[in-house]
Amino acid sequence: MEALLKSAKKQKTEAEILCLTGATLIIIGISKDHNTSAGVGVSNNYFDGLLLKTMGVVATLSSIPFIIASIKNKNKANLFLKNENVFFNPLSNLKIQRVYVGVKINF
């Protein structure tokens, strides 16, 4: 259970890093194209901005499998937590379901 939650958190972090890196590369590529077309840039090479934008799109799209895997691992961990029984007294075999209280914080 804990391993699934840890891997879900790790995969979510990897997805966020890839997505933000991709968005940054796209913005830099667009600004490079804008500077080159305005005559401000030192290099008049069109492929610099195109290459940066392409790398940004690839990085952003490669974050999608990490997001999907993170969601699946989190759902599996939550499923395991919901179906877990606790024995308070081993002599009486009394089964009591655990009740979990959580706080979700979105940034």
pLDDT one-digit tens code per residue, 20-61: 999 999 999 888 877 655 555 555 566 788 889 999 999 999
Q: In the chain, count H helices and then E strands.
A: 2, 2
Residue 8 is assigned to a structural domain of this protein: yes
pLDDT at 74: 87
What are the strands, taking DSSP E only, across the chain? 85-87, 95-97
Helix (H, G, I), strand (E, B) or coil at 38: coil
- The model's pLDDT over 63-87, given as tens digits with 9 standing for 90+, comes to 999 999 999 888 888 777 665 555 5
Residue range(s) defining the domain that contains residue 36: 2-97
Q: Residue 101: pLDDT above 70?
A: no
Residue 52 is assigned to a structural domain of this protein: yes
User: Which of 104, 56, 52 has its CA nearest to residue 78?
Assistant: 104
Residue 29 is assigned to a structural domain of this protein: yes
pLDDT at 25: 93
Domains of the chain: total: 1
Record the pTM.
0.63
CA dist 93 → 32, 54, 96 (Å)? 70, 61, 10
pLDDT greater at residue 11 or residue 84: 11
Residue 34 is assigned to a structural domain of this protein: yes
Helix (H, G, I), strand (E, B) or coil at 53: helix
Q: Positive or negative, the Cα torsion across 42, 46, 49, 55?
A: negative
Residue 105 is assigned to a structural domain of this protein: no
Residue 106 is assigned to a structural domain of this protein: no
